[in-house]
Amino acid sequence: MSKSAEKLDSIHTDESFNSSLSDEFNYQKRAPRFIKWIYQLDNFGIETRGIERVSAEERSAKAKSTSTTYQLIQVIGLWFAACGGLTSMSSFFLPTLLFNLNLKNSLVSGIIAMLIGCLVPAYSSTMGPKSGCRQMVTARFLFGTYGVVVVSLLAITGGVGWSIVNCVLGGQMLVAINSNISLAVGIVVIAVVSLVVAVFGIKVLLKFQTILAIPIFIACILFYVVVCNKIGYVHDSNEIVNQLGLDSLTIRGTWLSFWTIAYSSTSSWASGASDYYILFPENTPSGTVFMVTFFGIAIPTTFVAVIGTICGNIALSYKPWNDAYTNMGVGGLIVETFQPWGKFGKFVAVLLYLSLICNNIMNTYSIAFEFQLIDKHLVFVPRWIWATIVSAIYIVLSLVGRDKFSEILSNLLPMLGYWISMYIVLLLEENLLFRSTIKIKKLHEKEFDDDDMDKLYNWKNWNVPKGRTLGIACCISFCCGVAGAVLGMNQVYFIGPLAKLIGSQGGDIGIWLAAGFTGITYPSLRYLELKYFKR
């Protein structure tokens, strides 16, 4: 989701940094006079740099004024603000209400899957200091110039999907707080506020997130208080689940299906994880970046996941909460938990509502860079225009799907998990098998110069197609992974033949098969690609 920010802020406000852009990417300088205003708007606190690489020299110069420790602290704060609210919590209301799992199975499945999912962006983030490139730019070194278009579109789809989740959940909450507000108005409010903050300055974004991080954390603690007041209903909910008489194989199937959702809720950060480390010095230890990202996502997500799971479990047997969920979805359920606290409870609910905006701003801000990878000409369109376009898209989609929050969430997240799993397998195999030693890297004759052999990739070729892989092996292996996902997926619109074998309701094993099919086919195909094309 980003979709830190203060590091990126230095890009916007440091004239020497912006002036270092080559003429190739100095859009304002090269633009025709009649559209120069488009780029002049970009100067109001918004970065002019798009997908261009931040060179090692630029980052070293920046490090002289900002310590790496301070940068790491900023990133930790950003992860906590992004992961410690309702967006991360939203997936964990579902295991009992949607998948008929008792509390124990819900927590075991959800927490284990979520923590494993955190490993994916943690590893992806290590590419940032090494490359100075945004995550999907580094994907060019795997998928090639044309293959990366597919993964960029998938990343855009994921960002838009999360924005829809935020908007619909936020709309539900505003309606529950004030019944005079329509769901459509609630959706538009969260989208417009997100767009305004995202467009008019990364400084504003940073301040917005930083200021709200502490009250949102306090609101989550208060949510623990109101939910745990009804903890006695957990026993009743578990009894209802037991009375369904589901056989052990069916329970395993639903356990696996929720596992996929929980895993995807954190692994989906991998599509942009390295974005937040592009100003770190090249010699920043990968282990440090990995641990900061892992715990920065895992700790706040675990904190909200546990209480979300408990709340969803209680709602199965506690009628007022169940009625609120039935009538107004997860947003109505959240507001209903605070009903005993009256106006103060509504105030706390508003604070939780703001956490959705914090997450949504990052989506709106980051998707623009993924648009710029689709075609070389799109890089000349300023980021604020893409932010406006994507906001219009997810407003419309949110209005269309405003009454189907659970369906959107349960269908979106597995799809994200499938492709992210294939991507991380490809990245791991490429890095560990084909770039681990100088001897192996000599197979990449057309990519490396003699003075760049000590680097994982020749990052200078980030925008030089002839200096990167063609992506043939990666794209074929990715297609094999898609076949695996289809065989193992368990969705409303399609149940794979292997998923059908796991109990009466099926079980989602698409992630495992997608990763397995991709991992098995890539090494041999990549070796052949290197042998014949030398890149």
Q: Which fold has domain 5-404?
A: Hydantoin permease (1.10.4160)
Q: Which two tokens stand for residue 37?
A: 């205003």
Among 127-131, 199-203, 333-337, 416-420, which is the least confidently predicted range?
199-203
Q: Is 83 exposed, middle or buried (0-12, 13-18, 19+ CB in 10 A)?
A: buried
| Amino acid 45: pLDDT | 55
Separation CA 188–CA 135 (nearest Å): 29
Question: In one letter, which amino acid is 374?
Answer: I
Residue-wise pLDDT for 357-415, tens only, equals 888 887 887 787 888 888 887 877 777 788 888 899 999 988 887 777 767 777 777 88
pLDDT at residue number 14 = 38
Position 8 pLDDT exceeds 60: no
Q: Given pLDDT bands bounded at 50, 70 and 90, which one contains residue 494? A: confident
Q: What's the burial of 223, exposed, middle or buried (CB within 10 Å: 0-12/13-18/19+)?
A: buried
The neighbour count for residue 57, using CB atoms within 10 Å, is: 11
- pTM of the full structure: 0.89
Domains of the chain, by residue range, sit at 5-404
pLDDT interval class at 18 (50, 70, 90): very low
The per-residue pLDDT for 446 is: 81
Q: How far, in Å, are 13, 96, 234, 261 from residue 100 at the CA level?
A: 52, 4, 13, 15
Per-residue model confidence as pLDDT tens digits over 51-96? 888 888 888 877 777 777 877 887 888 888 888 889 899 899 999 9
Percent of the chain with pLDDT over 90: 45
pLDDT(35) > 50: yes
- SS3 for 227-255 is HHCCCCHHHHHHHHHHHCCCCHHHHHHHH
State mean pLDDT over 150-177.
89
